[in-house]
């Protein structure tokens, strides 16, 4: 028999009017309720808050209304919003932008973009460019949870937000008002807890879809109003005539940002699931229990402390201590759930990267699980083909056994042909081979191994402690160039990783599962520590959480704040320096088994700066005509030593001196750069390129340019591991500060407007005929917002741009004829425009 | 007369345009791109030559005066239908030969005694029904031989296998193999004999009266057939450009070609939307037709012509039937995904929910055009005038929705141009680039795609017999 819940009692359902009211609020994309609130509170501000978490009590304490903005669901046409986002990005940014461009968010006196992923982060930058007069605030939630370090940084951000709001007409922040607002928030939290408990105890009395509506409606009102609504609901819900029935009891996770269509939640319910807990509307439940107010404590500190100490485990929060998935299992046990349904938005990096770890934890605990993917505007829902359980009471309708998808065969043949090489390139090859030899001998030599990332790498520090770095991105790109990445990625996908997420991660996981054989054919040593330099890329955090699961080694987190406003503030620098001094260095010392020597670091930083000078001279040589370098395809070789294990070494200094001399010789001879087919022919087009290259067909890709006489005079990808041509140099006089500035200044840590400004500068300084954006599916940090960058750059420079799409190391996403078609069209367009017409 | 050739090799169809020295269209040809691009180019090109001869003939008939002229003009339309019938019958003959070859092959040899007579019966019936199909005013789902023949063969195969003695699947399998041979074989139809046969159908001999319509047309035919068509330059473009059998210097970007072709058709064009089989292009052009920016759909073919193709297959309809059916919708079902992979599932789900077929189709069309609107916005929006081209432009529902969306999203009376020959815009633009070469006195380039496509005994149909000039005059002398 079809299980029926309160629907059967609908004629007399006392909850219906309230639920209808909540539905009306949630589905109203014009935000009429917010407009009414503003009309009733003249002069008061309304602040839009993107998921997940925003400090609502602080906003309320200033007399302003925090308003949850969760996209537009399914009911509006997305035209302009879609025009700014590639198809491999999630849906919430496009519908949110559509709302804003249509004027539906013009009530907002400001928007808060919390640091939950690279897409929402970049959406904040797009907001700055599209709505220059409107206030945007990037809430960089700390990933360091000690009060003296992360706490201080967070408190400073809260104070900055308060200052900004006051400057825009909000009441100034007053401790008593904030205490009251926190008390109101705690009252709301208590009602939500009651509602959750009721759901767990009597799921037939209140369905998840109803609890969701009543919670979400509250994001459009003050906590106090929401308390009234919840009280009313809790009263009528208890009067609802119900009968108990026996459904599958499940917990749903993954939909903490983009919200699933209501129909999906209801469908799961109709299919026989009681959803006893979920992370929908997580923002209102981001703090476990009440925010504790201590006597004599500044309530701003209380708010920050609550986040640090009692923030709930979710995908966008780094799990520093404890076991990944423990919180979910505890939730399952608390609910007495039979299983878990993963319900993530398509292309949601946090949820989808987290999911395999949670699945592993559930498998270990014997908790069955299945998964679906959705988009907020979708009628069709994709069930992932790697589900698990078979709950007898679910009648097999929702939960199914694991299936294995047949995967297309993939060639492992290398597409990277041997290309013509400069002498410096051969030198570099020897340096890298030497490094891998050292790695192979690391154990016998008693050297500790640090896995870390290119952006924000602390190579000088690692070297000063006698440790050896391994850079997984470089392994992944090497696998791509050697034609191995396709197989590795399939391996990772077979193990449960989503096809939507970063292929560097999957390539690395696949390589690890295949024995961790490095590019030179020898096994890489396991890490002694994972140095998580969390710089400019959300995925880094998940990547090392995943590796930690495998290697069971310590992770050292270095949270590098994002330059959302295009500058490094003293607070940001201080936060990084404090982490280096109080966290990173002591942790590395303990693993290295030796004391950190500041002088040893200083000596290395001096060498770094020397190499950086020569590298900048190489970059700037492209001002010549013909350019003696290709600043992208050739450039990726030039950055090899300085972005990897050699910054701060005499080897690197020698390499860059040699490279510079080679380039100067070419200038003197009036020669262009090398191409895969030998010296480049006459220079016909000078281009600037944004975005990483594709590695699986690197030389094919390069030839699409070199054979047309197109040379890249500057690129941004070659600045991801350090941006030196705007003046920064490592500085032995201020070692930790300069390491902090280095990390903060890496290209992907720049705001979108700052990235546009840098590209604009390159286009002008290097007299480019055009610019090209290679938008890679894997890298949201780069890609989200690139279509706006394209338009903005065309507008500012009058130079036409081209846009192509590929991927880093997934050969499935490199459509050769498709890309070549676009590039040739673009170059022919440049030619026709140069001629001023056809003839 | 001197002319230039433009070929647009698309994912679904290949188009050719012959253009005279003044930029006038002499002839256009189209064929499905099939698996062999060389043959597709050769066939489209040959069709264009045939069409050029046809238009020369039309002009000759048009200029007739005196006895029989009025009668000749009156049967002109029927004459050209009869010409298509003759072409169809020629290909049907080839199909029959191919069937006979395959039925003797090892794969179906055991069933030869059953399949061969059945196939012959089906093909014989198709031959008998052909005059009605082309001269009887009946609607055809497609003008491509494969489509017309497949429809006829399927219907016939169902009939002859109704009693269960002939295995339907094997019969259809036979057709599938045989049609491939016909498709990858290049023929050069001889214009004059074909037309004479066509003339015999619509104007039987009546005693040699010099003033009869037939006699007058015959004299016009000689004039048109003897006229030398001298191809002096060539440019190719299209989706399959990387595998085109064209010399590298003769290849132009399809973006430039589509922009230019559309601008040539409507000189006030500033924005072009082209929706083809595999891709959608949004192109901005300046007052000279030079492209200033463009955007194409990303790697997936969502919202492109192929999407409608899947929907048509799912509903067992012809592609050209979708639009008119969608026009009958009373309400528009909201569809938010144009994923080609899920198109069939989406449609089945909605039909299962009891939604009306026309309403669903209307929603699917709208979803597709919303995607196109996003691409247009990405390329810089829509500026007046706006020209819609490509295969999908022939779909009346797509055009109507586009008009609505432009009105809803852009202020101030944007003119939307569509053209009956919108599918030829890329080839037209390519021909214009070839014309540039002709006018600039640059050495003409002619393709040699015919070499692989041609029958062994024949000359390359479009090869460079003489270094730079290919003449077709002799083709019709027989």
Q: For residue A122, which phi and psi values (nearest 5 degrees)?
A: -70, -30
Distance from CA of A631 to the nearest CA of B (A): 24
For residue A665, the surrounding DSSP H or E stretch is helix A650-668
**For the residues A618-638, what does the mean pLDDT come to?**
97
Kindly list the residues from chain B whose CB atom is less than 8 angstroms away from the CB atom of residue A824: 241, 253
Same domain, B272 and B392: yes
User: How many pairs of residues across A and B have Cβ atoms under 8 Å apart?
Assistant: 112
Query: Has residue B447 been placed in a domain?
Result: yes
CB A749 within 8 A of CB A453: no
**For the residues A791-799, what does the mean pLDDT come to?**
96
pLDDT grade for A288, boundaries at 50, 70 and 90: very high
Question: Given this model, what pLDDT does residue A12 score?
Answer: 72
Taking each helix axis from N to C terminus, what angle separates A598-620 and A650-668, rounded to the nearest 10 degrees?
10
Spatial distance between the Cα atoms of A525 and A191, rounded to a whole number of angstroms = 52
E strands along A546-591, which residues? 555-559
**For the residues A406-426, what does the mean pLDDT come to?**
49
Count Cα atoms within 13 angstroms, Cβ side, for A746.
Answer: 26
Question: Given this model, what pLDDT does residue A421 score?
Answer: 66
For A75, the closest chain B residue by CA position comes to B334
Three-state DSSP state, A497: coil
Kindly list the residues from chain B whose CB atom is less than 8 angstroms away from the CB atom of residue A707: none
Q: For residue A715, which phi and psi values (nearest 5 degrees)?
A: -145, 155
Kindly list the residues from chain A whose CB atom is less than 8 angstroms away from the CB atom of residue B334: 74-75
- A398 pLDDT above the threshold of 50: no
pLDDT grade for A595, boundaries at 50, 70 and 90: very high
Q: What residues in chain B have per-residue pLDDT under 70?
A: 34-35, 138-142, 205-211, 240-245, 299-301, 339-342, 447-478
**For the residues A759-774, what does the mean pLDDT come to?**
98
- A415 pLDDT above the threshold of 70: no
**Identity of the highest mean pLDDT range in A191-200, A242-251, B349-358:** A191-200
Same domain, B360 and B387: yes
Number of neighbours of residue A773 by Cβ within 10 angstroms: 23
Selected residue with higher pLDDT from B450 and A739:
A739
Rg of chain B taking only CA atoms, in angstroms: 24
Residues in chain A, how many?
839
pLDDT grade for A391, boundaries at 50, 70 and 90: very low
Sheet holding A529-534, edge to edge: A468-470, A449-452, A529-534, A555-559
Selected residue with higher pLDDT from A80 and A585:
A585
Same domain, B47 and B174: no
**Residues contacting residue A304 through CB under 8 Å, at least 6 positions apart:** A147, A151, A154, A155, A158
Q: Do B296 and A838 touch (CB under 8 A)?
A: no
* Closest by Cβ to A839, choosing from B260, B377, B440: B440
Spatial distance between the Cα atoms of A121 and B309, rounded to a whole number of angstroms = 39
Of A138, A171, A168, A371, the closest CA to residue A251 belongs to A371
Q: Which of B377, B435, B439 to probe the A interface (max A CBs under 10 A)?
A: B377
Question: Given this model, what pLDDT does residue A675 score?
Answer: 94
Question: Given this model, what pLDDT does residue A642 score?
Answer: 96
Distance from CA of B140 to the nearest CA of A (A): 34
Query: Has residue B204 been placed in a domain?
Result: no
Distance from CA of A800 to the nearest CA of B (A): 7
Helix then strand count (H, E) for chain A reads 33, 19
Question: Where are the domains positioned within chain A?
Answer: 6-394, 423-835
Residue pLDDT, tens place only, A104-113: 999 999 999 9
Of B349, B390, B384, the closest CA to residue B372 belongs to B390
E strands along A228-378, which residues? 248-253, 273-278, 339-345, 369-374
Q: Do A80 and B302 touch (CB under 8 A)?
A: no
Three-state DSSP state, B462: coil
Question: Given this model, what pLDDT does residue B384 score?
Answer: 92
For B430, the closest chain A residue by CA position comes to A838
DSSP string, B407-445: HHHS-S---EE--TTGGGHHHHHHHHHHHHHHHHTPPP-
Residue with tokens 């074909």: B194
Taking each helix axis from N to C terminus, what angle separates A598-620 and A735-744, rounded to the nearest 10 degrees?
40
Q: Which structure tokens are listed for B110? A: 């055991």
Spatial distance between the Cα atoms of B310 and B312, rounded to a whole number of angstroms = 5
Q: For residue A440, which phi and psi values (nearest 5 degrees)?
A: -60, -30
Q: Considering only the C-alpha atoms of chain B, give the largest distance between any 2 of them, rounded to a whole number of Å.
A: 70
Query: Has residue B50 been placed in a domain?
Result: yes
Over A516-541, what HEC string results? CECCCCCECCCCCEEEEEECCCCHHH
Residue with tokens 């900048």: A616
Three-state DSSP state, A67: strand
CB B84 within 8 A of CB B91: no
User: What ipTM is given for this predicted complex?
Assistant: 0.84
Spatial distance between the Cα atoms of A683 and A628, rounded to a whole number of angstroms = 10
E strands along A651-728, which residues? 674-675, 678-679, 685-690, 710-715
Q: Which structure tokens are listed for A527? A: 């890490």
Kindly list the residues from chain A whose CB atom is less than 8 angstroms away from the CB atom of residue B292: 800, 829, 833
Number of neighbours of residue A164 by Cβ within 10 angstroms: 14
Spatial distance between the Cα atoms of A708 and A711, rounded to a whole number of angstroms = 9
**For the residues A284-310, what does the mean pLDDT come to?**
96
Same domain, B95 and B176: yes
Residue pLDDT, tens place only, A28-83: 999 999 999 999 999 999 999 999 999 999 999 999 999 999 999 887 888 899 89
List, in sequence order, every residue forming a beta bridge with A805; answer none if it has no partner. A775
Same domain, B87 and B42: no
List, in sequence order, every residue forming a beta bridge with B231; answer none if it has no partner. B3, B470
Same domain, B142 and B282: no
Same domain, B284 and B157: no
* Closest by Cβ to B342, choosing from A81, A380, A824: A380
Using beta carbons and an 8 Å cutoff, which residues of A are at the interface with B? 74-75, 77-84, 86-88, 375, 377-380, 787, 791, 794, 800-801, 803, 805, 813, 815-818, 820-822, 824-826, 828-829, 832-833, 836-839
Question: Given this model, what pLDDT does residue A606 score?
Answer: 98
CATH number of this structure's domain A6-394, picked from the four choices 3.40.50.11900, 3.40.50.300, 3.40.50.970, 3.30.460.80 = 3.40.50.11900
Taking each helix axis from N to C terminus, what angle separates B112-135 and B191-202, rounded to the nearest 10 degrees?
70
**Residues contacting residue A300 through CB under 8 Å, at least 6 positions apart:** A58, A155, A158, A159, A162, A173, A178
Q: Do B243 and A787 touch (CB under 8 A)?
A: no
**For the residues A557-569, what does the mean pLDDT come to?**
97
Residue with tokens 């599209």: A130
Of B418, B446, B468, the residue at which a domain comes to its end is B418
**What sign does the dihedral A436-A441-A445-A448 (CA atoms) show?**
positive
- A616 pLDDT above the threshold of 90: yes
| Lowest mean pLDDT, pick from A14-18, A141-145, B437-441 | B437-441
Instruction: Judge residue A522's burial from the number of C-beta atoms within 10 Å of its C-beta, 0-12 exposed, 13-18 middle, 19 or more buried.
Output: middle
- A409 pLDDT above the threshold of 70: no
Spatial distance between the Cα atoms of A449 and A467, rounded to a whole number of angstroms = 6
Kindly list the residues from chain B whose CB atom is less than 8 angstroms away from the CB atom of residue A794: 293
Q: Considering only the C-alpha atoms of chain A, give the largest distance between any 2 of them, rounded to a whole number of Å.
A: 90
Residue with tokens 């559930």: A362
Helix then strand count (H, E) for chain B reads 16, 10
**For the residues A775-781, what does the mean pLDDT come to?**
95
Distance from CA of B241 to the nearest CA of A (A): 8
Q: Which of A74, A376, A379 to probe the B interface (max B CBs under 10 A)?
A: A379
Compute CA distances A415 → A211, A288, A702, whole Å. 54, 52, 12
Spatial distance between the Cα atoms of B77 and B63, rounded to a whole number of angstroms = 16
Same domain, B158 and B249: no
Taking each helix axis from N to C terminus, what angle separates B145-160 and B76-103, rounded to the nearest 10 degrees?
60
Three-state DSSP state, A135: strand
Q: Do A825 and B243 touch (CB under 8 A)?
A: no
Instruction: Judge residue A607's burial from the number of C-beta atoms within 10 Å of its C-beta, 0-12 exposed, 13-18 middle, 19 or more buried.
Output: buried
For A807, the closest chain B residue by CA position comes to B299
Three-state DSSP state, A770: strand
Same domain, B293 and B352: yes
Where in the sequence is the domain holding B402, given as residue range(s)?
Answer: 267-418
**For the residues A227-252, what does the mean pLDDT come to?**
94
Same domain, B87 and B22: no
Q: Which runs of consecutive H residues, i.e. helices, occur in B212-265?
A: 213-226, 254-265
Question: Given this model, what pLDDT does residue B141 score?
Answer: 61
Selected residue with higher pLDDT from A407 and A731:
A731
CB B259 within 8 A of CB B460: no
Query: Has residue B382 been placed in a domain?
Result: yes
Spatial distance between the Cα atoms of A741 and A580, rounded to a whole number of angstroms = 12
Distance from CA of B369 to the nearest CA of A (A): 10
Query: Has residue B444 been placed in a domain?
Result: yes
DSSP string, B332-371: PPP-----TTTHHHHHHHHHHTT--HHHHHHHHHHHHHHH
* Closest by Cβ to B253, choosing from A378, A825, A839: A825
pLDDT grade for A389, boundaries at 50, 70 and 90: very low
Rg of chain A taking only CA atoms, in angstroms: 27
Same domain, B295 and B162: no
Q: How many domains does chain B have?
A: 3
**Residues contacting residue A42 through CB under 8 Å, at least 6 positions apart:** none
Same domain, B168 and B238: no
Question: Given this model, what pLDDT does residue B139 score?
Answer: 67
Residues in chain B, how many?
478
CB A641 within 8 A of CB A474: no
Distance from CA of B334 to the nearest CA of A (A): 9
Three-state DSSP state, A333: helix
Question: Given this model, what pLDDT does residue B344 score?
Answer: 75
Sheet holding A801-806, edge to edge: A710-715, A685-690, A770-776, A801-806
């Amino acid at each position: 028999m079809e299980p029926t819940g309160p629907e059967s009692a609908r004629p007399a359902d006392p909850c219906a009017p309230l639920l209808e009211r909540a539905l009306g609020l949630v589905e109203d994309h014009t935000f009429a309720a917010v407009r009414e609130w503003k009309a009733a509170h003249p002069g008061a501000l309304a602040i839009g808050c993107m998921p997940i978490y925003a400090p609502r009590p602080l906003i309320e304490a200033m007399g302003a209304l925090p308003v949850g903005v969760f996209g537009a669901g399914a009911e509006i046409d997305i035209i302009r919003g879609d025009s700014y986002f590639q198809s491999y990005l999630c849906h919430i940014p496009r519908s949110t932008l559509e709302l804003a461009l249509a004027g539906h968010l013009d009530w907002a006196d400001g928007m808060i973009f919390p640091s939950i992923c690279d897409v929402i982060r970049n959406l904040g930058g797009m907001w700055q460019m599209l709505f220059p007069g409107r206030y945007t605030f990037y809430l960089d939630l700390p990933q360091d949870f000690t009060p003296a370090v992360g706490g201080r940084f967070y408190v400073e951000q809260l104070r900055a937000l308060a200052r900004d709001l006051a400057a825009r007409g909000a009441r100034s922040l007053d401790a008593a008002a904030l205490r009251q607002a926190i008390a109101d928030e705690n009252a709301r939290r208590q009602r939500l807890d009651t509602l959750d408990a009721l759901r767990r105890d009597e799921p037939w009395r209140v369905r998840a879809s109803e609890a969701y509506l009543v919670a979400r409606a509250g994001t459009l009102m003050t906590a106090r109003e929401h308390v009234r609504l919840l009280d009313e609901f809790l009263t009528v819900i208890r009067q609802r005539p119900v009968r108990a029935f026996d459904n599958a009891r499940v917990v749903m996770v993954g939909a903490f940002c983009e919200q699933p269509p209501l129909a999906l939640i209801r469908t799961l319910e109709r299919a026989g699931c009681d959803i006893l807990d979920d992370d929908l509307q997580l923002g209102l439940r981001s703090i476990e229990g009440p925010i504790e107010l201590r006597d004599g404590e500044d309530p701003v500190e209380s708010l920050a402390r609550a986040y640090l100490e009692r923030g709930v485990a979710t995908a966008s929060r780094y799990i520093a201590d404890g076991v990944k998935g423990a919180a979910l299992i505890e939730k399952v046990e608390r609910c007495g759930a039979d299983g878990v349904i993963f319900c993530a938005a398509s292309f949601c990096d946090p949820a989808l990267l987290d999911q395999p770890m949670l699945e592993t934890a559930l498998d270990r605990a014997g908790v069955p699980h299945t998964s679906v993917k959705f988009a907020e505007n979708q009628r069709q829902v994709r069930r992932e083909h790697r589900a698990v359980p078979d709950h007898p009471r679910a009648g097999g309708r929702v939960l199914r056994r694991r299936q294995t998808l047949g995967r297309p065969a993939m060639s492992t043949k290398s597409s990277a042909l041997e290309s013509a090489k400069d002498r410096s390139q051969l030198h570099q090859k020897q340096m890298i081979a030497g490094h891998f030899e050292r790695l192979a001998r690391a154990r016998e030599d008693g050297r500790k191994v640090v896995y870390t990332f290119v952006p924000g790498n602390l190579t000088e520090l690692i070297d000063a402690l006698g440790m050896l770095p391994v850079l997984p991105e470089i392994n992944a790109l090497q696998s791509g160039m050697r034609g191995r990445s396709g197989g590795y990625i399939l391996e990772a996908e077979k193990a449960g990783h989503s096809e939507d997420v970063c292929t560097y991660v999957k390539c690395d996981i696949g390589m690890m599962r295949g024995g961790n054989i490095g590019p030179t054919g020898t096994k890489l040593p396991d890490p002694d520590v994972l140095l998580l330099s969390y710089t400019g890329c959300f995925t880094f955090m998940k990547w090392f959480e995943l590796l930690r699961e495998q290697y069971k080694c310590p992770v050292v987190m270095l949270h590098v704040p994002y330059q959302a406003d295009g500058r490094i503030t003293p607070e940001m620098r201080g936060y990084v320096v404090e982490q280096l001094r109080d966290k990173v260095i002591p942790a590395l010392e303990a693993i290295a088994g030796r004391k950190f020597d500041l002088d040893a670091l200083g000596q290395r930083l001096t060498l770094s700066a020397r190499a950086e000078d020569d590298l900048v001279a190489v970059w700037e040589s492209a001002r010549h005509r013909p350019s003696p370098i290709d600043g992208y395809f050739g450039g990726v070789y030039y950055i090899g030593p300085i972005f990897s294990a050699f910054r701060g070494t005499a080897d690197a200094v020698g390499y860059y001196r040699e490279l510079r001399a080679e380039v100067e010789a070419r200038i003197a001879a009036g020669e262009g750069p090398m191409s895969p087919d030998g010296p480049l022919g006459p220079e016909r087009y000078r281009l600037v390129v944004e975005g990483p290259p594709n590695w699986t067909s690197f030389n094919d890709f390069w030839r699409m340019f070199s054979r047309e006489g197109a040379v890249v005079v500057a690129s941004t990808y070659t600045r991801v591991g350090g941006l030196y041509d705007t003046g920064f140099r490592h500085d032995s006089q201020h070692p930790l500060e300069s390491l902090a500035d280095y990390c903060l200044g890496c290209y992907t840590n720049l705001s979108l407007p700052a990235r546009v400004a840098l590209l604009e500068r390159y286009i002008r300084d290097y007299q480019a005929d055009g610019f090209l954006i290679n938008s890679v599916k894997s890298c949201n940090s780069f890609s989200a917002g690139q279509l706006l960058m394209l338009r903005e750059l065309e507008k500012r420079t009058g130079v036409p741009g081209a846009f192509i799409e590929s991927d880093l190391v997934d050969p499935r996403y490199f459509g050769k004829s498709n890309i070549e078609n676009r590039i040739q069209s673009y170059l022919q367009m440049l030619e026709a425009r140069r001629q001023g017409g056809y003839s | 007369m001197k002319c230039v050739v433009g070929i647009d090799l698309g994912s679904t169809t290949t188009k050719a345009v012959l253009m005279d020295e003044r930029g006038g269209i002499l002839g256009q040809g189209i064929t499905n791109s099939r698996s062999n691009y060389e043959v597709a180019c050769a066939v489209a090109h040959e069709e264009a030559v045939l069409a050029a001869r046809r238009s020369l003939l039309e002009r000759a008939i048009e200029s007739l005066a005196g006895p029989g002229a009025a009668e000749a003009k009156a049967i002109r339309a029927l004459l050209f239908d009869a010409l298509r019938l003759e072409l169809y019958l020629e290909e049907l003959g080839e199909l029959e030969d191919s069937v006979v070859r395959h039925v003797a092959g090892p794969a179906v040899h055991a069933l030869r005694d059953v399949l061969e007579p059945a196939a012959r019966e089906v093909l014989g019936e198709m031959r008998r029904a052909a005059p009605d199909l082309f001269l009887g005013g009946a609607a055809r789902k497609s003008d491509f031989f494969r489509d017309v023949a497949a429809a006829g063969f399927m219907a016939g195969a169902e009939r002859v296998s109704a009693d269960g003695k002939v295995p339907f699947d094997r019969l259809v399998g036979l057709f599938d193999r045989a049609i491939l041979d016909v498709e990858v074989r290049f023929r050069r139809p001889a214009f004059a004999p074909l037309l004479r046969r066509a003339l015999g159908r619509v104007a039987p001999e009546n005693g040699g009266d010099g003033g009869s319509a037939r006699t007058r047309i015959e004299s016009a035919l000689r004039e048109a057939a003897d006229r030398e068509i001298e191809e002096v330059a060539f440019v190719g473009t299209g989706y399959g450009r990387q595998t085109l059998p064209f010399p590298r210097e003769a290849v132009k970007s399809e973006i430039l070609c589509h922009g230019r072709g559309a601008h040539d058709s409507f000189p006030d064009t500033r924005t072009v939307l082209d929706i083809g089989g595999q891709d959608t292009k949004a192109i901005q052009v300046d007052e000279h037709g030079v492209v200033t920016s463009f955007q194409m759909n990303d790697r997936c073919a969502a919202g492109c012509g192929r999407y409608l193709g899947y929907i048509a297959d799912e509903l067992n309809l012809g592609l050209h039937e979708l639009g008119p059916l969608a026009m009958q919708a009373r309400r528009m079902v909201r569809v938010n995904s144009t994923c080609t992979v899920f198109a069939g599932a989406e449609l089945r789900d909605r039909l299962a929910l009891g939604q009306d077929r026309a309403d669903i189709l209307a929603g699917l069309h709208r979803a597709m055009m919303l995607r196109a609107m996003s691409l247009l916005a990405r390329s810089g929006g829509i500026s007046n005038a706006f020209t819609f081209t490509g295969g999908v432009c022939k779909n009346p529902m797509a055009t109507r929705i586009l008009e609505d969306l432009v009105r809803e999203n852009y202020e101030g009376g944007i003119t939307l141009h569509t053209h009956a020959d919108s599918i030829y815009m890329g080839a037209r633009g390519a021909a214009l680039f070839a014309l540039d070469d002709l006018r600039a006195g640059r050495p003409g380039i002619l393709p040699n795609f015919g070499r692989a496509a041609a029958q062994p005994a024949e000359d390359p149909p479009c090869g460079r017999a003489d270094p730079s000039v290919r003449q077709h005059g002799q083709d019709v002398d027989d």
